[in-house]
Structure 1
Amino acid sequence: MDFKDDAKIDSDAIDSSAGGPGRGGGGKIALGGGAGIVVLILALLFGINPGDILGTDDGSQAAPTSTSSSTCRTGADADRDPNCRWAAYATSINQYWGEQLSGYTKARTKPFSNSISTACGSATAEGGPFYCSGDKLVYLDTSFLSQLLNQLGTETSTAAEAYVIAHEYGHHAQDLLGTMAKAHAAGNQTGPHSPSVRLELQADCYAGAYLKWAADNPDDLIENVTSADITKIVNAAKAVGDDHIQKQSSGQVNQDAWTHGSSKMRVYWTQKGFNAASLKSCDTFATNNLGD
């Protein structure tokens, strides 16, 4: 997967402002494709909602980041400076959703280091990338994401990163559509067919649909999405399955504790999105076939 040299990167795609005091309670954090293994192990072993872990407010502040949107103007900059790829992903994904949803308002990506205070409360790098509905930002510790993917047993690549970030922007779309609020209204239910799992699988499907669009769209910033890239994306989806993470943490699988879906389910919905004719195929709330 490459970036077109002359394609423009949105200078407003990255939020480079300093992190402020937590405003806990402003919204729930929707854990996504890169949910941190440390947080998930705690959740799976003790029945804790990962969103509640990330939503606590201890007043921590964002550490400075090395990403500057002012130096990321084109795809050539993303090839030259790896930090620019985050703005490139955000630009491309916002373009996709701008074509899919009438009245779409873009989300921005906010890189941070170690810990940060958000409108959803305080979070640390170990929580992995996440979307906060309270401030419409996708948060990620850029260095920890690579570590996380490796820790979960898949290789780091632009394709895997794009899948993870697209999943988080899928949560933003769910937020705008009201799907997230409906799922959260059901409470902290867990299990393979719970609203939480359906929400995550739909975000996987949205990520797959975006990646197909990026592969086919000659005007997009991203190009040359190859079969090898698809394999890396599928491997990333497998790595973040609840059953895979449970096996790594305890050696056992407990379906009743699932919050994101099994590896098989996540691969199924990512591929379903990639092959979908429309986003209607991503309605995980209207089917009992979740690919399990």
Structure 2
Amino acid sequence: MPRIAYVNGRYVPHTEARVHIEDRGYQFADGVYEVCEVRHGLIVDLTRHLDRLDRSLSELRIAAPMSRKALTGVIREVVRRNHVRNGLFYLQVTRGVARRDHVFPSASVKPALVVTAKSTDPKGIAAKNEKGIKAITVPDNRWDRVDIKSVGLLPNALARQQAKEEGAQEAIFIDVDGMVTEGAATNVWIIDRDGFLVTRPADHGILKGITRTTLMDVAEKLGVEIRERRFSRAEMLAAREVFITAATSICFPVVEIDGQVIGNGHPGETAERIRGHFFEIAEKIAI
């Protein structure tokens, strides 16, 4: 079955999906996006993803492309048409198509909306959870407003490419003070030497991940104490456990960073425990 995309009011074959050359997302990265998991035919944490989308749009002063009810209908239809049972959908909103100019176009220019969906291989994710992944650290050279889920991801792409070239699966950003911010596409967590679950506060310097937020709910239910505080690269390397979270991976254990083994070199029990209970807590909406 061919893939189907939604592009500005039309459901079209994925291979024929097009946006205009003067779309501001293409020319200025003037847009935002969300990625949301589909698991066993259910959309995971949709409400929180759409809440964050609304916030990102508001921060960039981009109007919502349609009502939330209508957008939810489009998302469901794209997932259905692509027969996705386990996978994800990608949603992108840009300021729209207008003559190239750095200042915003007039209010008559409508935001552009694209939604796609694809299946993923649960076995591949399970293998990474079983073995753990490797990561590298890189200087954080991104713009200051990483709290906005903007499509301007060139530093993230360069970091991920460097990780791949070094045989790793994620790059972890380190700020000018030597403190961990987040991964190129993930939030970072550690179990510190005192046994606390630690992650950087989401008030500045990182994106407030949806999986991160739901994981906090899971940890609370399990009685795992969380400390939101900054932590250094050195503390991360000395941690009992390190893991990363994202909608597409939930909770990947990190067993090696910059060539140094983390803990005992095997996935830790905290990550496994949280992952095992995650979908008991996460919102699940039928397609």
| Richer in helix (by share) | 1
| Richer in strand (by share) | 2
**Structure with more relative contact order (C-alpha pairs < 8 Å, separation 6 or more):** 1
TM-score, normalised to structure 2's length? 0.30
TM-score, normalised to structure 1's length? 0.29
